[in-house]
């Protein structure tokens, strides 16, 4: 098995998780700053105000990437550093633009290709207060389009753009379960606002339209001269039927992927929502206007794929609750025969299953006509890692084995299944602010010592990544 000679690998991060410096150089607050300030939302009551201090340590981060021999780096930009209040008629913050322009210049000078994500969950808080943020069908797509244009113009050297990271998480975790900012949910014990039966589907629709608008801007105004490409990153797990002999479980396994991934990918590739979602949700799924559809359909130059784990799936009873977002089913770590999907990690939702990665690449490739895929995130936490002494954290053999298994499963999908995977970004370059889990959960291939001035120490998994890819990428 092998990967093509032009295959691109690297590491990924997100602005709020690593940057810190939340009030430096004119940055405005984001919905995550506001969410973290609410009691009980984040494990340990922490926030991203310092995180890994990467805003102040870009040179150190580039030196780290060079030490790991990394050819590419995916990072996200903080919208509220660029336009502190967020809106298309609000002032632009030149200091924020200058910071990212210099960072990209420095990456390229170091021989590292940047992949830029425009939005990794940190909406300017002002837009949420002003008009409901992602819930606003009229204002939000136009403000996002403006923000995207500002960055396309400022950073022509970037040739790979991602509009949104994991719109499923923004929609479901932000507006159904209330687990992520801004924390809307029907559960009044968790939030005074929210309608879990309707809001997530509205948000998902608005994110698709905003994505389409930004892609149109890039293709018409920038792509002809900059020669770059643009897509969206979607997340989802592979789903195995709990009982492979039960056709209802087989159907439910497909439906699980449709409710997670095809919710966004089907409109982009086919111009409509999946039939399974239309059947269950009815008029709760917004209808595309002809203008919206013209923006959304065909709006991917590549498919961005985030993937971590797999589940066994058991069909529901045909009467899903109004707030159900899985597709009338339940997920399980064990199947009917008592077989386990994979070992436990620090993350309750993550159990390694590398063959599920290969199977999901196959599933997506068949459904969407074998698109060019960039794996934009893949990685694992380790159970109890944060409680280990530093020398044991650095020797993260569990993560090494995870990457080895997953990367080779991906190579099998390319070599044996004919899938068109062109890149792989490991999550994450370094331990960081893990959203609602705070700093308890570590995903990094570099250890960050939060008790000693955020010092970085490469782990075994980071140091071995080059050898893993050198052994698989064809020599061009």
Residue 201: C-alpha distances to residues 172, 235, 264 (Å): 8, 16, 11
Catalytic residue, chosen from 19, 126, 166, 385, is: 166
Number of Cα atoms under 13 Å in the Cβ half of residue 39 = 1
Query: Is 245 known to be catalytic?
Result: no
Q: What is the model's pLDDT at position 476?
A: 77
Catalytic residue, chosen from 258, 377, 434, 437, is: 377
Smallest CA-to-CA distance from 254 within 352, 164, 326, 193 is with: 326
Structural domains of the chain ordered from first start = 8-470 (3.20.20.80)
Q: What is the model's pLDDT at position 226?
A: 98
What confidence tens digit (pLDDT) does each residue in 326-361 have? Answer: 999 999 999 999 999 999 999 999 999 999 999 999
What confidence tens digit (pLDDT) does each residue in 234-260 have? Answer: 999 999 999 999 999 999 999 999 999
- Look up residue 453 and give its DSSP letter: T
42: region left, alpha or beta (phi > 0 left; psi from -120 to 50 alpha): beta
Question: In the predicted model, what is the mean pLDDT of residues 185-200?
Answer: 98
Query: Is 251 known to be catalytic?
Result: no
Smallest CA-to-CA distance from 108 within 170, 35, 159 is with: 159
**Which distant-in-sequence residues (6+ apart) come within 8 Å of 313 by Cβ?**
239, 240, 241, 242, 249, 252, 253, 256, 329, 330, 331, 332
pLDDT above 70 coverage of the chain, percent: 100
pTM reported for the whole predicted model: 0.98
Smallest CA-to-CA distance from 400 within 460, 442, 347, 467 is with: 460
Smallest CA-to-CA distance from 77 within 60, 102, 43, 109 is with: 102
What confidence tens digit (pLDDT) does each residue in 206-229 have? Answer: 999 999 999 999 999 999 999 999
Q: Which residues pair with 340 in a beta bridge?
A: 334
């Amino acid at each position: 098995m092998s990967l093509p000679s032009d295959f691109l690998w690297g590491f990924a991060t997100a602005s709020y998780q690593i940057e810190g410096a939340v009030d430096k150089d004119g940055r405005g607050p984001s919905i995550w700053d506001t969410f973290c300030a609410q009691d009980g939302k984040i494990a340990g009551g922490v926030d991203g105000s310092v995180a890994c201090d990467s805003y102040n340590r870009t040179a150190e981060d580039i030196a780290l990437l060079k030490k790991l021999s990394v050819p590419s780096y995916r990072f996200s930009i903080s919208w509220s550093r660029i336009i502190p209040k967020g809106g298309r008629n609000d002032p632009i913050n030149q200091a924020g633009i200058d910071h990212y322009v210099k960072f990209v210049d420095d990456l390229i000078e170091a021989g590292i290709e940047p992949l830029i994500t425009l939005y990794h969950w940190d909406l300017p808080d002002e837009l949420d207060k002003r008009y409901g943020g992602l819930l606003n069908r009229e204002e939000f797509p136009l403000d996002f389009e403006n923000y995207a244009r500002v960055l396309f113009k400022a950073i022509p050297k970037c040739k790979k753009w991602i509009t949104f990271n994991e719109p499923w998480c923004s929609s479901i975790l932000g507006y159904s379960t209330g687990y992520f900012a801004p924390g809307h949910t029907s559960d009044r014990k968790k939030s005074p606002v929210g309608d879990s039966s309707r809001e997530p589907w509205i948000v998902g629709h608005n994110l698709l339209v905003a994505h389409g608008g930004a892609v149109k801007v890039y293709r018409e105004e920038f792509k002809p001269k900059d020669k770059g490409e643009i897509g969206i990153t979607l997340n989802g797990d592979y789903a195995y039927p709990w009982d492979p002999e039960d056709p209802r479980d087989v159907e439910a396994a497909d439906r699980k992927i449709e409710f997670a991934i095809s919710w966004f990918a089907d409109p982009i590739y086919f111009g409509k929502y999946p039939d399974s979602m239309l059947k269950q949700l009815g008029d709760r799924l917004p209808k595309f206007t002809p203008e919206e559809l013209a923006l959304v359909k065909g709006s991917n130059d590549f498919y961005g794929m985030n993937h971590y784990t797999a589940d066994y799936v058991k069909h529901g009873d045909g009467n899903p609750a109004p707030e159900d977002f899985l597709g009338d089913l339940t997920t399980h770590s064990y199947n009917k025969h008592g077989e386990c999907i994979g070992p436990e990690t620090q993350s309750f939702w993550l159990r390694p299953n590398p063959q599920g990665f290969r199977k999901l690449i196959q599933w997506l490739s068949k459904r969407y006509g074998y698109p060019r895929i960039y794996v934009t995130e893949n990685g694992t936490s380790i159970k109890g890692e944060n409680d280990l002494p530093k020398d044991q954290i650095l020797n993260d053999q569990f993560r090494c084995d995870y990457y080895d298994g997953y990367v080779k499963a991906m190579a099998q999908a390319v070599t044996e299944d004919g899938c068109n995977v062109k890149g792989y970004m490991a999550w994450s370059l370094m331990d960081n602010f893990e959203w609602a889990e705070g700093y308890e959960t570590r995903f990094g291939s570099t250890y960050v010592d939060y008790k000693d001035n955020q010092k970085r120490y490469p782990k075994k998994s980071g140091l071995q990544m080059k050898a893993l890819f050198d052994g698989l990428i064809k020599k061009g």
